[in-house]
Amino acid sequence: MAAAVKLSTLDAGFLYMETPEMPMHVGSLSMFQLPDGYDGDFFEAFKAQIADRIADAPMLKRKLARTALDVDHPSWVEDEQFDINRQIFRASLAAPSDMAALRRTVGWMHAKLLNRARPLWEFYVFEHMPGNQVGLYVKIHHSLIDGGAGVALTKIIYDVVPDARPRPRPAAAEAPAEDKPSLAEATNNAMQSYLRFWQAPFSPEAVNFSMPRTGKTDLGSVLLDHVAGQVELGVKLAAAMPAMAGAAARSMASFIDPARLADLQNLVAPKTVLNKSISSERAFGSITLSLPRVKAVGKAAGGSLNDAVMAISAGMLRRYLAQHGEVPDKPLTAGVPISLRDEGNANANNQVFAMICPLATNIADPKQRLATIIAESGKAKDMVNPFKAFVPLMTNASALGLPVAAQLLALLYSRSGLADVLPPATNVCISNVPGPRMTLYAAGAELLHLYPVSIVTHGMALNITVQGYRDQLDFGLIAGANILPDVQALTDLLEEELLVLEQAFGLAA
């Protein structure tokens, strides 16, 4: 049996923040085109394909194991009763079974919490859609996966050819017994490492300092492992202190520069109709834009694809707020996730940081708005980049009693309505996830679209996530239905805003 894997503070935080109004799972809506004349059972074929690949994604067969009294982070343990029939379901839509009905259904399903007694993921297959298409709605808890890991998982689930065969697998070999040192040996090794650290406390080698763990979930073992973790963290923090001090000094120079005070004020988000408490209902919208067209806009302005995505989103938000007579004098701000994942890293955990970027929604001219976004995103990156290397270190910190305290605070915040009176941290989340450029297939069907379905929270009722695939950008907008019940109408404005920017830069045909 595989060893238990303790969740990091970042991964576990998504469990602690979860309330009935704020499910903390992410997902996607994939659309497939069945071959002409297809007379098979796509659902059974797809389920068989996942069953064949599940060994390549072992985290999908793990469930949560809480610690005694919830005093420390839970662990992922193998589900001895794993049954793929309790994870993948055949679903159906009411007539006319079209895309609008599917979006409404996905919004409704995305509001439902995952069952923590089982592995925290579910797939739903919607067959018999117009044009011989099939929809696949996926939901996976954010404690298990981030955007980068999601792309890696996509490569496991899907194929690059339509007629892929089952993957050959070597016969399962019995795992060799792990040669663990005795408690005395482990303690002696840890003490030697500890003494070497104090001989050269700021040496880079100190970041490799480690203490032995029991890996068990009983209360005594949890307490012992916690002490080991705190000692280990303290040593690593001390080793990283000179670099952290240098990073802080570089960022502080920006904070105290009088010329940057106006920039810092722009990072404070204004209150809008989007920044209120959300209900336990969701609305989902989707649209596909041309990747080359969006890239061309960013290039014409001297910026990146991500800058163009933010500008298109900013134009949409400005137009929506103008319709309600609520365009703030200060620019809206976006929380923009930044991946910390090294190239080729496919671990199923969260490796993400975030920056705050003003969206220049107070500027009417679209060309000037994009130029301002490019400048502001550059400043935001300069501010957070010095600290990116230290984020993994901090996300492994823990404190006894944190699970209980964090869950109580999340529930209190959810029930108190504080989001209606407190200023928002950011107005909206905008995430751009690079994806595969080649055509993918599943069970012989061609993948047409891969729309993301993400998370909204109290005080931030809209999330805009973009998934790259082939030569297209698939936008998925998820919203609190009490704030934006018709989020598709808002989503449709993205195409118009792209055209506005193309006209501003002389790119329109």
pLDDT digit string, tens, across residues 207-253: 555 656 666 666 666 666 666 665 665 565 566 566 556 655 655 55
Rg of the chain over Cα atoms, rounded to whole angstroms, equals: 24
How much is the pTM?
Answer: 0.83
| Cβ 60 vs Cβ 54: under 8 Å | yes
Question: What is d(CA 339, CA 355) in angstroms, rounded to the nearest whole number?
Answer: 11
| Cβ 136 vs Cβ 29: under 8 Å | yes
The pLDDT tens digits of the residues spanning 411-426 come to: 888 888 888 888 888 9
Question: What is d(CA 426, CA 359) in angstroms, rounded to the nearest whole number?
Answer: 11
Give the CA count within 13 Å in the CB-facing half-sphere of 447.
31
Say how far residue 490 (Cα) sits from the centre of its chain. Answer: 22
Q: Is the pLDDT of residue 191 over 60?
A: no
- Work out the pLDDT band at 328, boundaries 50, 70, 90: very high
Give the model's pLDDT for residue 485.
94
Please tell me which of 115-129, 157-171, 401-415 the model is most confident about, judged by mean pLDDT: 115-129
- Tell me the sheet residues that pair with 428: 334
CATH superfamily of 268-401+423-435+453-504: Nonribosomal peptide synthetase, condensation domain (3.30.559.30)
Instruction: Delimit the domains of the chain by residue range.
Output: 5-157, 183-261, 268-401+423-435+453-504
Give the model's pLDDT for residue 70.
73
CATH superfamily of 5-157: Chloramphenicol acetyltransferase-like domain (3.30.559.10)
204-210: which pairs have CB atoms within 8 A and are 24 or more residues apart? 204/239, 206/235, 206/236, 206/238, 206/239, 207/236, 207/239, 207/240, 209/235, 209/236, 209/239
- Tell me the sheet residues that pair with 402: none
Tokens at residue 154, please? 């996509």
Question: What is d(CA 329, CA 311) in angstroms, rounded to the nearest whole number?
Answer: 17
Count of Cβ atoms closer than 10 Å to residue 431 Cβ: 25
Phi and psi angles of residue 53, each rounded to the nearest 5 degrees, phi first? -95, -5
Residues contacting 94, CB < 8 A, separation 6+: 101
- Tell me the sheet residues that pair with 336: 355
* Block residue for tokens 């009722």: 461
Tell me if 5-157 shares its fold with 268-401+423-435+453-504.
yes
Q: Kindly give the pairing relationship between strand 88-91 and strand 121-129.
A: parallel
